C-alpha cells in the first residue's frame, strides 16, 4: 500500500463507504488494542461497524421524554477513539496530494483542545511524521496521555480567558513562519468541512433512512471547529426543510449572543466563529449548562440502576448506553431534546446528533464532579437524572436565521481571521453559498488524485 514509499489511506468516497476500498489495501492489519497505529488502520476512518452499518443509537423515549426520534451517531470506534481523526487525516491527505508533503520533510503542528490532537498524533504516527500538538493547560489528563502515547510532543499554552483566540494566535506566531513546520489547522482547513459534509453528512442520511419518516428534521451539534456542523450542509442539500442547530455551553454563548466564558465541556464552546463554519446554514443555537452535561454523563454511566429506576428506561436499553458518550455527546443529546421540545417536533420525525468520543476520556472529569459534590449516592443520582433529562428548561432557542444575526456572525468571523492574516476578499467570499459549494465539489478532485497517487490499483466503481 505504500506505492512511492508513502503510507496512503482512504479516499473520501471510501470513508463514506468502506466497501469500496480495494481489498489489497487492507492486507496485513495487525490485531490487538493499544498497539502502534499503522497505515492500514487509517482505512478504519468511517462511521461503520464490522457489517458496514452506520453506528447509530436511537435513544429510548423514556430517557428523552420527547416524541421525536433522537438518533446519535457513535464516534468512539474511530481509530484513536473519536471522529476528530477524520479531519486530521483529511487535512494531511490533502496537503500530501497538493503540496507533496512527505514524512521527514516537515513537523506537523496541530492546535487543539484535545481530540483533534489525539487524532493528529495518531495519523502522524501511522504515516511516519513528527508531530507537535499545541494544547491549552488544564484539560483532562486522559487527553495529554493519549497524545504522548502516540509519540507527539505537547506544547502547552496558558488557558487564558478559556477561549481559543490565544491558542490560534500562539500557533500562528510560534509555527506560522517556520518552513520546517506544517499546520494541520482544524479551524481553518477546508478538509475538515469536506470530511464532515461528505462523510458524516452522507452517513447521517443513510442512518436516518432506517428510522421514522426516513428524513432528517433537525441536525444538532455543538461546534468546536464547527467541522461536524458541516454535515448539516449536506442534510440541507437533501432535505431543504431540515434545521441545523448549534449547541453551546450556557457558560459560553458565543454564537447565540457573542458572549464568552470558561466551562468544562472540552472540545466545544470555544468562543470563536471558526473559519470553516458556514454560518449561512446555522438556523438556531441552543444552550446547555455544563453542570447538566456532567451529571447527565454520570447518570448514564450508572446504567439501569439509575435510568430504569428514575426514568423507566428498559434495563437492556439503559445498559447499552454505558460508555458510549463523552461530555460533549451528552451536551448534544440534551441540546437535541430541547430542540424537540421547543419546536414541538412530532413522533416519527428524526433529530440527529453526534457523540464525538466515548466515556474513556472522562474518568478524571467524573472524579472532579465527585470531589466537588461530596458523597454521591443512588438517591442523588436518580434525582439528578430527572432534573437533567426531564427538566433543563428555560433557555429556549436563539434564532440565527435573520439577516442581522448572519451579519453579526460574519463580522465575528472576519474580525478574528483577518487579524490572523486572511485577506478580506477571501473572508467576504464566504458570505456566498457558492463558496461552500465550490469547496465541497473538490471532494471528487482529491479522490481522483489519491487514487492516482496510490498507483495502479483497482478503481472504485
Ligand atoms: C469531545 C468533542 N466534542 C465535540 C467537538 C466539536 O467538533 P467539531 O470540531 O467538529 O465542531 C470536539 C472537537 O474537538 C471534541 O473534541
- Kindly give the distance from the C-alpha atom of residue 340 to the centroid of ligand 1, in angstroms, as a whole number: 22
Is the CB of residue 268 below 6 angstroms from any atom belonging to ligand 1? yes
At 4, the pLDDT band (50, 70, 90 cuts) reads very low
Residue 460 or residue 240, greater confidence: 240
Question: Whole-prediction pTM value?
Answer: 0.96
CA of 255 to the centre of ligand 1 (A): 15
Pick the CATH number of 56-80+191-399 from 3.10.560.10, 1.10.3720.10, 3.90.1170.50, 3.40.50.1100: 3.40.50.1100
224 in contact with ligand 1, CB cutoff 6 A: yes
pLDDT tens profile 119-135: 999 999 999 999 999 99
Distance CA 397, CA 15 (A): 34
Within 10 Å of residue 176's Cβ, how many Cβ atoms? 15
At 460 the pLDDT is 43
**What's the pLDDT band for 159 if we cut at 50, 70, 90?**
confident
- The number of the ligand 1 atom at minimal distance from the alpha carbon of 326 is 1
Structural domain spans, the chain: 56-80+191-399
Pocket test for ligand 1, best of 168, 356, 364, 365 (most atoms within 8 A of CB): 356
Residue nearest to atom 7 of ligand 1 (CA): 224
- The answer to whether 287 touches 248, Cβ cutoff 8 Å, is yes
Q: Are strands 69-74 and 56-58 parallel, antiparallel or unpaired?
A: antiparallel
Residue 57 Ramachandran class (φ > 0 left, ψ -120 to 50 alpha, else beta): beta
pLDDT over 80 at 241, yes or no: yes
| Cα–Cα distance, 308 to 313 (Å, whole number) | 4
Confidence bin at 61 (pLDDT 50/70/90):
very high
Q: How far is CA 412 from CA 169, 256, 397, 418, in A?
A: 16, 12, 20, 10
Name the burial class of residue 380, with classes exposed (0-12), middle (13-18) and buried (19+) by CB atoms within 10 angstroms of its CB: middle
228 lines ligand 1 (CB under 6 A): yes
Please state which of the ranges 333-337, 364-368, 439-443 shows the lowest mean pLDDT.
364-368
Mean pLDDT of 393-397: 68
Angle (nearest 5°) at CA 175 between 129 and 4: 25
Residue 66 confidence (pLDDT): 96
Amino acid at each position: 500500500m505504500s506505492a512511492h514509499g508513502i503510507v496512503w489511506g482512504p479516499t473520501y468516497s471510501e470513508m463514506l463507504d468502506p466497501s469500496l476500498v480495494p481489498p489489497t489495501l487492507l492486507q496485513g492489519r495487525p490485531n490487538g488494542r493499544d498497539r502502534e497505529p499503522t497505515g492500514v488502520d487509517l482505512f478504519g476512518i468511517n462511521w461503520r461497524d464490522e457489517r458496514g452499518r452506520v453506528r447509530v443509537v436511537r435513544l429510548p423515549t423514556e430517557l428523552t421524554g420527547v416524541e421525536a426520534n433522537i438518533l446519535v451517531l457513535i464516534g468512539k470506534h474511530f481509530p484513536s477513539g473519536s471522529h476528530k481523526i477524520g479531519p486530521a487525516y483529511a487535512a494531511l491527505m490533502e496537503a500530501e496530494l497538493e503540496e507533496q508533503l512527505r514524512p521527514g520533510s516537515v513537523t506537523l503542528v496541530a492546535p487543539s483542545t484535545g481530540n483533534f490532537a489525539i487524532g493528529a498524533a495518531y495519523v502522524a504516527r501511522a504515516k511516519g511524521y513528527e508531530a507537535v500538538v499545541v494544547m491549552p493547560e488544564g484539560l483532562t489528563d486522559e487527553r495529554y496521555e493519549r497524545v504522548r502515547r502516540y509519540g507527539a510532543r505537547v506544547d502547552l499554552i496558558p488557558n487564558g480567558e478559556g477561549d481559543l483566540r490565544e491558542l490560534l494566535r500562539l500557533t500562528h506566531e510560534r509555527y506560522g513562519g517556520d518552513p520546517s513546520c506544517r499546520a494541520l489547522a482544524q479551524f481553518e482547513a477546508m478538509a475538515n468541512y469536506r470530511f464532515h459534509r461528505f462523510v458524516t453528512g452522507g452517513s447521517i442520511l443513510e442512518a436516518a433512512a432506517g428510522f421514522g419518516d426516513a428524513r432528517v428534521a433537525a441536525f444538532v451539534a455543538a461546534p468546536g471547529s464547527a467541522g461536524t456542523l458541516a454535515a448539516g450542509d449536506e442534510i440541507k442539500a437533501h432535505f431543504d426543510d431540515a434545521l441545523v442547530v448549534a449547541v453551546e455551553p450556557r457558560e459560553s454563548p458565543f454564537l447565540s449572543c457573542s458572549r464568552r466564558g470558561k466551562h468544562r465541556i472540552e472540545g466545544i464552546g470555544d468562543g470563536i466563529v471558526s473559519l470553516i463554519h458556514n454560518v449561512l446554514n446555522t438556523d438556531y443555537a441552543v444552550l446547555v449548562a455544563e453542570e447538566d452535561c456532567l451529571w447527565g454523563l454520570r447518570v448514564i454511566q450508572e446504567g439501569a440502576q439509575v435510568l430504569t429506576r428514575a426514568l423507566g428506561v428498559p434495563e437492556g436499553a439503559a445498559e447499552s448506553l454505558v460508555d458510549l458518550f463523552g461530555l460533549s455527546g451528552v451536551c448534544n443529546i440534551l441540546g437535541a431534546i430541547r430542540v424537540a421540545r421547543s419546536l414541538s417536533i412530532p413522533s416519527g420525525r428524526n433529530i440527529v446528533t453526534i457523540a464525538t468520543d466515548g466515556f474513556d476520556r472522562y474518568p478524571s472529569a467524573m472524579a472532579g464532579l465527585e470531589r466537588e459534590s461530596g458523597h454521591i449516592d443512588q438517591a442523588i443520582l436518580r434525582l439528578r437524572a430527572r432534573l437533567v433529562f426531564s427538566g433543563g428548561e428555560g433557555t429556549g432557542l436563539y434564532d440565527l436565521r435573520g439577516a442581522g444575526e448572519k451579519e453579526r456572525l460574519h463580522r465575528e468571523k472576519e474580525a478574528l481571521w483577518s487579524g490572523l492574516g486572511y485577506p478580506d476578499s477571501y473572508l467576504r467570499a464566504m458570505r456566498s453559498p457558492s463558496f461552500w459549494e465550490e469547496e465541497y465539489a473538490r471532494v471528487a478532485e482529491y479522490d481522483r488524485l489519491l487514487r492516482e497517487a496510490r498507483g495502479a490499483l483497482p478503481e472504485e466503481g
